[in-house]
Amino acid sequence: MVRVGVVGYGTIGERIADGVAKQQDMELVGVVDVAPALPVRALVESGRGYPVYCGLPDRIPDMEAAGVPVEGTLDDMLEQVDMVCDATPPGIGMKNKEIYERHGVKATFQGGEKDAISPILFSSTANYDLAKDVDYIKLVSCNTTGMVRAVVAVDEAFGVEKAVATIVRRAADPSEIHKGPIDAAIPGKVPSHQATDLMRVMPHLDAMGFIITVPTTHGHVITMHVTLKQEIATEHALDVFRQGRRIRTFRIEDGFLSNTHIFDYLRDLGVPRADMFEVGIWEETVLAQGRDLYWIHNIPQEAIVIPENIDAVRARMGMQVDKWDAIDTTDRYLGIYKG
Amino acid sequence: MVRVGVVGYGTIGERIADGVAKQQDMELVGVVDVAPALPVRALVESGRGYPVYCGLPDRIPDMEAAGVPVEGTLDDMLEQVDMVCDATPPGIGMKNKEIYERHGVKATFQGGEKDAISPILFSSTANYDLAKDVDYIKLVSCNTTGMVRAVVAVDEAFGVEKAVATIVRRAADPSEIHKGPIDAAIPGKVPSHQATDLMRVMPHLDAMGFIITVPTTHGHVITMHVTLKQEIATEHALDVFRQGRRIRTFRIEDGFLSNTHIFDYLRDLGVPRADMFEVGIWEETVLAQGRDLYWIHNIPQEAIVIPENIDAVRARMGMQVDKWDAIDTTDRYLGIYKG
Amino acid sequence: MVRVGVVGYGTIGERIADGVAKQQDMELVGVVDVAPALPVRALVESGRGYPVYCGLPDRIPDMEAAGVPVEGTLDDMLEQVDMVCDATPPGIGMKNKEIYERHGVKATFQGGEKDAISPILFSSTANYDLAKDVDYIKLVSCNTTGMVRAVVAVDEAFGVEKAVATIVRRAADPSEIHKGPIDAAIPGKVPSHQATDLMRVMPHLDAMGFIITVPTTHGHVITMHVTLKQEIATEHALDVFRQGRRIRTFRIEDGFLSNTHIFDYLRDLGVPRADMFEVGIWEETVLAQGRDLYWIHNIPQEAIVIPENIDAVRARMGMQVDKWDAIDTTDRYLGIYKG
Amino acid sequence: MVRVGVVGYGTIGERIADGVAKQQDMELVGVVDVAPALPVRALVESGRGYPVYCGLPDRIPDMEAAGVPVEGTLDDMLEQVDMVCDATPPGIGMKNKEIYERHGVKATFQGGEKDAISPILFSSTANYDLAKDVDYIKLVSCNTTGMVRAVVAVDEAFGVEKAVATIVRRAADPSEIHKGPIDAAIPGKVPSHQATDLMRVMPHLDAMGFIITVPTTHGHVITMHVTLKQEIATEHALDVFRQGRRIRTFRIEDGFLSNTHIFDYLRDLGVPRADMFEVGIWEETVLAQGRDLYWIHNIPQEAIVIPENIDAVRARMGMQVDKWDAIDTTDRYLGIYKG
């Protein structure tokens, strides 16, 4: 049993915690936060029972006043874990890293953290092996995570030379009410860093990207154009996507008219938080013409990076040697395994 | 066991079905729809196992082609039920009523249906007894449902003379993507029908209302100003709301900064669909000054009418004679009982 | 000729400048800002020709590099003016006040500034006379400005005892893209400060208010409920509003379905910036019942405070003794006079 | 003097009318509509003085009751014109065409009309000559209009082989309040018709396009990737865009952070309706890499097609033989000529 802690119990952290708790070969030792924000309150009210540690000892009374039982401090938790997944806001991870080092604890960090925090940029479907010897592992952002999965699937099947993406970025998560815009589309300078990131994890690739931020909350939507090493038919690409790991296809004709329809469908399925771990591809947007392949996919930004965080633990802790073996194990426990 | 069917398996119908399925003294015989829309597909994929009937016999092949096992027609289901909850789009209920009459089946109808469909306008916390002898029962809309609950609680405690409401109406449910506005606030003519409805179910009350439609999806937010028969202190009103049935209070200070925070919290709790059956009242918006009482409440428009639909079945089918007995029974099975 | 300067050339400041420039008994000496932001660039490109002064001497090169001819520093302008309208971001006005005092220059400040900046809270239709002897005058916010106009009109006609408002607040101006929410309604604690402000400028009034922030950009929409000293008919109230100064009525039936329709109509009229100085009242929302009067009005937040800023100059500089004389003069030059 | 009429006085029609009125070699004979909607009311209130004709004789009393002086019927106007610009809602143009034919009047139709209405698809910068002999001319949609201008400019300078666009489509004009989505991104099937249209007006080009609809109102934003026939440097492309006709460049660094900032800047300039006839290109999004050229442009959907409508009149009426001669003439009168 690999012992894992989660530091930063916000939108990403709470989902990593649930994901780790489902891994039968990992033990979720506890979660750390610094205030009784809503995710922490929900954790208590839901009865999930993860031990809560407080990252700032002088805030323990605040948390207890809010009815949150506090098991101890960050240091207390670090004494009991092999590795942590750090999902704190950008900039905090860099400070936490020193504390982790002091305790000899390994860690993953999220895409918002500075590159300097890690010698590698990790996305398991592309470069699982890289994390085997690295104690502090930075993952790519949610957008890049989804792109990597889809592009790796196509690359392994047909060979990819170049990828050009336009990210239509949801400006905020649902309850990030202080973030706009309300009625504007915001272009980013070209190239967007997501393109650079894609090339860092898939260095044989030529990649370029646009980003435009829009007033939506239920998922980034990305248009993809890749140049293949061979001509294929649309149906070949569809087969790859339908079978691809951590990829889920939807049909507009079935009623999946928007990213919000996917979200709502997951609500109807009864999936916790209506979370989706997979990147979603609309089948009617997949089109192959000669060596050009086009598609549109949806990035459920709150949940998509969870599997890769768990994979990083598997890689570093030596739980699985083989990439797909690790990925399949994670996915089986998460309930998204495609046999 | 009272046998219940649900006709119209959309946003409201699928939630009524789940609610009825939880009532241990009711049997959900089946649900009816006319096409394999997303809620029907989710029903199949989720494995909930409710029998599906098809409202239009010539559409059965469409549903079966989509992988939906069809048990039979609307007529087939009506042969097996005592009562249906009709949650079809406005206008359809009126046509269905004739079919229900032919089968001797009683029914509830939702607030969007024409008043002529029923001799009464029903909201159980206000006028449970009215439904005992009425075969076709029209419920008030979601906004009025929430207002009635809060006003009844205050009225029973202190006596209410007059109520003035401003409904800040969410323009669409999350996946109703064809509805706007995108960037506008739309005033309704004064008075809004919700005020009239409040007086119809609480005839001793003087009521008036404004409605303004805005580009949000996660709940109507209503400001309330009631004139009481006596002077009270704010704390008295808070006590009433905290204990009031189907009312849930939230504190802005705890992080419930908006209606979307409530929605997100329910996601974190792991509640199916993040649904809330209660009307939500923000505690810091409750203020009593002499005989004036002010507050703001949130109407989770997708789920709030579910309990009252079930109550209507209880009333008409004679399952409970006493109003609060019926309400408590419904709530116990729904898991929202306040002891 | 009263010599006026404008400090802070953003959304409000640029509109005050245009308004002052139209007053034939005032001279717009210049405008002050600290960077070549878009309003300053537009001033240059438009050829309006107002002299630009730079509030931070070391930023002059930045402005000149952007093609903005700089006449001098803030101090330079203050030597030439009798009074300034300060429309800087909240908090800056307090610092500027010391500079104005040093130069013996009087000033208006906007509603976002701290109350301590001025011994009075000013809104000309309610308390014009108060500003006659006060060198530093704080105006009420845009919401209160509009409420004061409408309530004063009704008060002078019928007598008002109490007013209850629900402000459906536009969360951001069109290009304030960093502000949200995107999909949420945010309740404020009760009472909102706008109610307190209304009582401060109309002290004989009992006032209370709610505020809910929503994702729109084209105007605050406010529902009003006032208790009169006498019974009236709806038509009486409509007459008062149709004739009321700085009030403009619209009919939903004519196509003014939302606040954005008003904005768009002003675009079609060819009005500069599609600005409206008046508070807009939808006629079909005006309803009198006994002593209760209800209506909904729209606050064009970018422009509504301009006339009152100019009035404040008139009051303090002794340009007109009589309130309505001053208001009519301002309005004539602005082109919104109702004879 | 070529005599021109405008049929359909909505968002596009009112702008065509203003544009035609500015052409000193054209006479705006009148405008036609069927109801006193807001644009017609604004026409009257603004004092522009264009004669109004009523498309449905039995609606004349409605228009007159709204204070709109009616000069006559559609037939009356058609007797006096050489050509009309038809800007009626999709589907109406096809019916109107028969009436135009009866009167021997030529016409332009907008991009929403069916292709069958015209033997050609017109966009003057690409295929001006085509319209010389065609009586009924269909223009491309606003998105394609902007793309054609930018791609033609690049094509004439460097040669273009292929173009791939992602259109981030504003879902509605500001006052189209019934249209959504509120919080969703809606992918279109691939390819989008805009790609097909681009190839129809530039047949030597290989083009492909994505479209995603989002909740904004102030302009479509499009990412472009074109493959050139030669390698260029970014600065070369910038030069082409800066000098390109009906193209306007903006710098993010100057404060043009979004499409709404462009709109707001035009308001500040005092431009009527804040309309922009040019396609807007953000300079920091222009990037050349070898033979690949990338950029993002903004389509002000309300106004961008006006110049091309006027060009079509010039072509068909033989006013100018040469394409750029015609375009420059239109632009001079519109005030957007680049010398």
In the 3-class helix/strand/coil scheme, how is A80-100 assigned residue by residue? CCCEEEECCCCCHHHHHHHHH
Decide: residue B291, CB within 10 A, 0-12 exposed, 13-18 middle, 19+ buried: middle
Q: CB B217 to CB D183 under 8 A? A: yes
Distance CA(D63)–CA(D35), nearest Å, equals 6
Query: What is the pLDDT confidence band of residue D194, given thresholds at 50, 70 and 90?
Result: confident
pLDDT value of residue C34: 98
Closest among A41, A45, A49 to A18, alpha carbons compared: A49
Phi, psi angle pair for D22, to nearest 5°:
-85, -15
pLDDT at B236 over 90: yes
Rounded to whole angstroms, how far apart are CA atoms D264 and C129? 36
Query: How far apart are the CA of B192 and the nearest CA of chain D, in angstroms?
Result: 19
Main-chain dihedrals φ then ψ at residue A24, nearest 5 degrees: -75, -10
Burial of D235 (0-12, 13-18, 19+ CB in 10 A): exposed
Interface size A-B, in CB pairs within 8 Å, comes to: 94
Structure tokens at A212: 């435009």
CA-to-CA distance for D223 and D231, rounded, in angstroms?
Answer: 20
Chain A residues near residue B48 by CB distance under 8 angstroms: 270
Residue C217 near chain A (CB below 8 Å): yes
Cα separation of A118 and C178, whole Å? 30
Q: How many CA atoms lie within 13 A of B275 on its CB side?
A: 27
Q: Mean pLDDT over residues B284-293, rounded?
A: 98
**Cβ of C258 under 8 Å from any chain D Cβ?**
yes
Phi, psi of B137, deg, nearest 5: -115, 120
**Which residues of chain D have a CB within 8 Å of the CB of C50?**
none
Distances (CA, A) of D15 to A193, A327, D145: 40, 58, 16
Say what the pLDDT of residue B193 is: 86
pLDDT at C15: 98
DSSP string for C69-138: -EEEEHHHHHTT-SEEEE-PPTTHHHHHHHHHHHHT-EEEE-TTS-GGG-S-EE-HHHHGGGGGG-SEEE
Identify the band that residue C108 occupies on the pLDDT scale cut at 50, 70 and 90.
very high
Q: Is B233 on the interface with C (CB under 8 A)?
A: no
Q: Pick the catalytic residue: C142, C154, C195, C326?
A: C142
pLDDT at D242: 98
Class of residue B335 by CB neighbours under 10 A (exposed 0-12, middle 13-18, buried 19+): exposed
- For the cut 90, the answer to whether the pLDDT of residue C160 exceeds it is yes
Residue type, C188: G
Residue range D224-253, pLDDT digits in tens: 999 999 999 999 999 999 999 999 999 999
Q: Is the pLDDT of residue B338 over 90?
A: no
Is the per-residue pLDDT at B262 higher than 80?
Answer: yes
Residues 6+ apart with CB under 8 A from C85: C4, C5, C6, C7, C13, C16, C20, C107, C108, C309, C312, C313
- Chain B nearest-CA distance from C165, in A, is 9
Query: Distance (Å) from the C-alpha of residue A176 to the closest C-alpha of chain C?
Result: 7
Nearest CA to C31 out of C23, C19, C115 is that of C19
pLDDT value at position A80?
Answer: 98
Q: Which residue of B has its CA nearest to D218?
A: B183
Partners of D83 in beta bridges? D4, D106
Half-sphere exposure of B260 (CA within 13 A, CB side): 26
Instruction: Look up residue C30 and give its DSSP letter.
Output: E
Contact D180 B183 (CB under 8 A): no
Which pLDDT value is given to residue A338?
Answer: 81
| B217 close to D (CB below 8 A) | yes
> How does strand D186-187 pair with strand D206-214?
antiparallel
- Residue in chain C nearest A175 by alpha carbon: C184
CB-CB contact of D154 with D227 (8 Å)? no
Q: Are strands B52-54 and B26-33 parallel, antiparallel or unpaired?
A: parallel
Cross-strand partners of D108? D85, D137
Task: Tell me the pLDDT band of D193, cut-offs 50, 70 and 90.
Answer: confident
Query: Is the pLDDT confidence value at C43 over 90?
Result: yes
Residues in C touching A263 (Cβ below 8 Å): none
Catalytic member of B40, B131, B142, B208 = B142
**Contact yes or no for C165/C207 (Cβ under 8 A):** yes
Backbone angles phi, psi at C202, to 5 degrees: -130, 75
C-alpha torsion sign, points C316, C321, C324, C330: negative
Of B171, B182, B184, the CB nearest to D171: B182
Task: Report the pLDDT value the prediction gives residue A193, as an integer from 0 to 100.
Answer: 86
Reported as a pLDDT band with limits 50, 70 and 90, residue B64 is very high
Q: Measured between CA atoms, how close is C109 to chain D, in angstroms?
A: 22
Q: Are A158 and A305 in contact (CB under 8 A)?
A: no
3-state secondary structure C225-263: EEEECCCCCHHHHHHHHHHCCCEEEECHHHCCCCHHHHH
Determine the residue of chain D that is closest to A216 in CA distance. Answer: D183
Question: Which SS3 state, helix, strand or coil, does residue A321 take?
Answer: coil
Confidence of residue B1 (pLDDT cuts 50, 70, 90): very high
For residue B182, pLDDT over 80 is answered with yes
Structure tokens at C208: 């209370």
Chain B closest-CA separation from residue C247 CA (Å) = 17
> Rounded to an integer, what distance in angstroms lies between the CA atom of residue C193 and that of residue B293?
18
Scanning A281-300 for CB atoms below 8 A from D yields 282, 284-287, 289, 292, 294-296
Tokens 């409920």 locate to C225
Query: CA-CA distance, D215 to B177, in Å (whole number)?
Result: 10
- The answer, for D217 touching chain B at a CB cutoff of 8 Å, is yes
Q: Are B28 and B9 in contact (CB under 8 A)?
A: no
Residues C8 and C85: beta-carbon distance below 8 Å:
no
Confidence grade of residue C196 (pLDDT, cut at 50, 70, 90): confident
**φ and ψ at C152, to 5 degrees?**
-60, -45
The total number of residues shown for chain A amounts to: 339
Residue of B nearest to D215 (CA): B182
Chain D residues with CB under 8 Å of C261 CB are 38, 175, 177
Contact flag B190-C289 (C-beta cutoff 8 Å): no
Residue D216 to residue B182, Cβ atoms within 8 A = yes
What would the mean pLDDT of D34-63 be, rounded to a whole number?
97
| pLDDT of res. D68 | 98
The answer on pLDDT for C73 being more than 90 is yes
Please tell me the distance from the alpha carbon of residue D9 to that of residue D205, in angstroms, as a whole number.
35
Chain A residues with beta carbon closer than 8 angstroms to that of C172: 180-182
- Which strands make up the sheet holding D106-109, listed edge to edge? D70-73, D52-54, D26-33, D2-7, D83-86, D106-109, D136-139, D121-122
Residue ranges for chain A with pLDDT beneath 50? none
Nearest CA in chain B to D184: B177
Please answer whether residues C12 and C19 qualify as being in contact, where contact means their C-beta atoms are separated by less than 8 angstroms. Answer: no
Give the 3-state secondary structure of residue B6.
Answer: strand
| Res. C251: pLDDT tops 90 | yes
CB contact under 8 A, B37 and A265: no
pLDDT of residue D162: 97
What are the residues whose beta carbons fall under 8 Å from the beta carbon of D185, sequence distance 6 or more?
Answer: A168, A170, A214, A216, A218, A219, A221, A258, A259, D212, D213, D214
Q: Are strands D83-86 and D2-7 parallel, antiparallel or unpaired?
A: parallel
Picking from A48, A174, A258, the nearest residue to B177 by CB comes out as A258
Among D26, D105, D130, D142, the one annotated catalytic: D142
Asked if residue D258 lies in contact with residue A186, where contact means CB atoms within 8 angstroms, the answer is yes
For residue A189, the chain D residues in CB contact (below 8 A) are: 252, 284-285
Q: What is the pLDDT of residue A30?
A: 98
Question: Is the pLDDT reported for residue D338 higher than 90?
Answer: no
Residues sharing a CB contact under 8 Å with residue D207, sequence separation 6 or more, in sequence order: D162, D163, D164, D165, D195, D196, D198, D199
Neighbours of C, requiring at least 3 CB pairs below 8 Å, are A, B, D
Measuring CA to CA, which residue among C88, C109, C93 is closest to residue C312? C109
Contacts of D172 in chain B (CB under 8 A): 180-182
Residues 11-30 of D with CB under 8 A from B: none
Q: What single string gives the DSSP state of each residue in B93-161?
A: HHHHHHHHHHHT-EEEE-TTS-GGG-S-EE-HHHHGGGGGG-SEEEEPPHHHHHHHHHHHHHHHHH-EE
pLDDT tens column, A296-333: 999 999 999 999 999 999 999 999 999 999 999 999 99
In contact, B296 and C187? CB cutoff 8 Å: yes
Q: Which chains lie within 8 Å of chain B at 3 or more CB pairs, if any?
A: A, C, D
Residue C132: which residues within 8 A CB-CB, separation 6 or more?
C315, C316, C318
The single-letter code of the amino acid at D34 is V
